[in-house]
Structure formats: structure tokens, C-alpha cells
Amino acid sequence: MADLRRLWQGCSVPPTAAGQLAVPQLHRAARIEDAVHHLVERRLRRTGWRTNIVAYTGYGAPGWVRVMCRVLLGRPDTRQRGRLEKVRGWRSFTTLPAKYVTVTIESGGKRHETRTDRSGFVDTVVEADLPPGWGSVRITVPDAEPVEAPVRILDPQVRFGILSDIDDTVMVTALPRPLLAAWNTFVLDEHARAAVPGMAVLYERLVTAHPGAPVFYLSTGAWNVAPTLTRFLSRHLYPAGPLLLTDWGPTADRWFRSGREHKRATLARLAREFPEVKWLLVGDDGQHDQEIYREFAAAHPDNVAGVAIRRLSPTQSVLAGSMPHPAGDSSSAGPMGQKWLSAPDGAGLWKLLRDAGLV
């Protein structure tokens, strides 16, 4: 239980003595956003909009599970799920959160209650006696359809995992150039998004070579696009795994969230939660993956099996705002002697990983 209490720290907002959520002093942008949401919510509820739950893939180990979901307001007809239709990116951001509503989580025969935050999110760690492998937890909210959230429970014997960036690592997005990023995020049809050649095959080979190895997808993208990303990964045959995204819009203390800090905090959290696992960190050279992975490898050398960097093409490098790198695969040593590998696609990285003895 000591370990579980340690994992709980920082995962939820404690209630006050009166049973209400303790809300810190908010940034001005967040207060404006809350005021707008309050006005819009009253109007939408009068027109028949109801709460619905968007469940995200969670993870854990025997004894505990991290549960993530979001509660939103939506039209009654939008509560039907499983419809495969073309979706423009902007639709993912036209949502209204259901703030501070009670959420019940049932897992392994146990019930837990929590509340959504000011953005409608739940991100909490609960006790659960689930066996290793894929399982599910049941999430219920008053006046909403219950949903089953998939969870990946890591076997205590697992010693190898894959943690992958998304943008320009598994999906070509040409970030962070602002106008092109906005086009890809808000306008482009999700079925028009291109997969990076060979990366799905690479991940499938890795999980075959390391039975039980989990695949986590870490991105600075917003939770709003999680359903779109899940469909993309499934459509292009990437191994299923939890998405570790971040909130979008004003936060409690600033105008915009920090993508770099989100990645740093998530890596540090995984090192605490799974101290015996060595991660293969996969990213690209178009943003800050190399810098963040280098910092993590120096701080947690025992948690890094190697680093695999997908090298962008000259055109993609220019679009992403970086300088083109020399062609050709490469292998070098990291800050603490870990293998650092670089290639333009999944096939090249697979060859380097195999030569380095990481598969």
C-alpha cells in the first residue's frame, strides 16, 4: 500500500472538509474559459444535451491501475459509438467539459469514486487486482451510459518496454510549423494522415521479440484527438497501447501547457511506476525528443535500453523547422553508454536495433 500511496500523489485534487473540490487560484485565461463554459453549459443542457464518457486506455500493475477518461456534454444522438466516418480535426476540439461531476470506477470487484477536474478529466490511480495482460474497468457517471475502459496490466516479470513519440515518428504531421500544424490538426481529414513507413512493422517485431512488452505512445498532443489517434494507430496496425497526451488550452497557472514538461514528467513517472523496466525510447529529430531523451537517460540510466530516432527527410526537416541531417543510418553511444540509433524509417531502425542486440 505504501507504493500505491506514492503513485497517488499528484494524481487527483483532494476534497475540502465540505466535500467540495479544492480549487487553487486560477490563471486569468482559465477563469475566462470557465465563465464561458458556464454560460454555454446552461444553454446546452436546456436544449437536451447530456453527459457522456470518453474512456482512454489505462495501464497498471497487479494491485493498481491508472484510469483516464473525460466527461463531456454532447447531443443525445452523439452518444452512439463505434461509427466509422470521416472526421475533420476541428470537430475534436468543439467539446464542452462536464466539470466536477462524480465518477464511479469499478475494477477487480472494487468501487472507487472521484470527480472530474475543471476540464472534465479524470486521471487517477485506484486499487485493482487485475491479472497481467489486457483487462478493463467500468466507468459510470449519473445520466450517462457506462463505458468499459481498456487497461494494460504489466507483468512484474517484464523488463523491456517501448515508449514512442507520435508526431513525425509514427504519423507524418510536419510539426511544429504553426500554420501547417494547424492545418493537420484542425482541417485535415483523419483518413488522409500518412503513417511513417515501416514503423508499425518495427513495433510489431519488437513486441514479438519481447513477449509481454508494453507499447506506450507519448505526445504533446491534446486529449481531444485521442479517439482520432487511436483509430489511426489501429488502422495502420500499430500495437495497441495507452496514449499519454496532455490537456489543451489554458491551465491553472499559464496561458498554454508546456509540451516539453509534459514529456519530462511522464517519463519520470514511468520510471517511478516501473523501476525494473528498461524503455526503448523512440522519437524523431524534428522537435525536442533527442534533448528530452538525453536528459532522461542521464537521470535514469537503468531505465533506458536504448534510443531510436527516426530521421526526417530534408523536406520534412524544413517543414518542421529544423536543418536537414546527413543521409545514412547511424549508431552511437548515449550519455550513459546507451545505444543511440538513427535511421529514416522503421526498416533502417530495425536493422540497427538487431545489430545492437536490442532484439
Give the DSSP per-residue string, 88-124.
BGGGGG--EE-TT-EEEEEETTEEEEEE--TTSEEEE
Q: How far apart are CA 218 and CA 263, in angstroms?
A: 7
In the chain (359 residues long), the average pLDDT of successive 10-residue segments reads 44 40 52 56 64 94 96 66 45 70 92 92 94 96 94 97 95 63 57 87 97 95 86 95 83 62 96 98 90 96 96 63 57 74 96 92
Q: Where in the chain is the domain with CATH 3.40.50.1000?
A: 160-355
Task: Quick: pLDDT tens for 272-293.
Answer: 999 999 999 999 988 789 999 9
Q: Any idea how long the chain is?
A: 359
Measure CA of the first residue to CA of the last residue in the chain; give whole Å.
35
Beta pairing, strands 110-115 & 102-107: antiparallel
60 contacts: CB under 8 Å, gap ≥ 6 = 66, 125, 128, 130, 151, 152, 153, 154
Closest CA to 64 of 276, 244, 274: 274
**DSSP β-bridge partners for residue 167:** 171
The CATH number assigned to the domain with range 160-355 reads 3.40.50.1000
Contact present, 277 and 212 (Cβ < 8 Å)? no
Q: How far apart are CA 148 and CA 319, in angstroms?
A: 40
φ, ψ of residue 321 to 5 degrees: the values are: 85, 20
Task: Quick: pLDDT tens for 6-44.
Answer: 444 444 443 433 344 444 565 565 555 555 555 555 665
For residue 288, the model assigns a pLDDT of 87
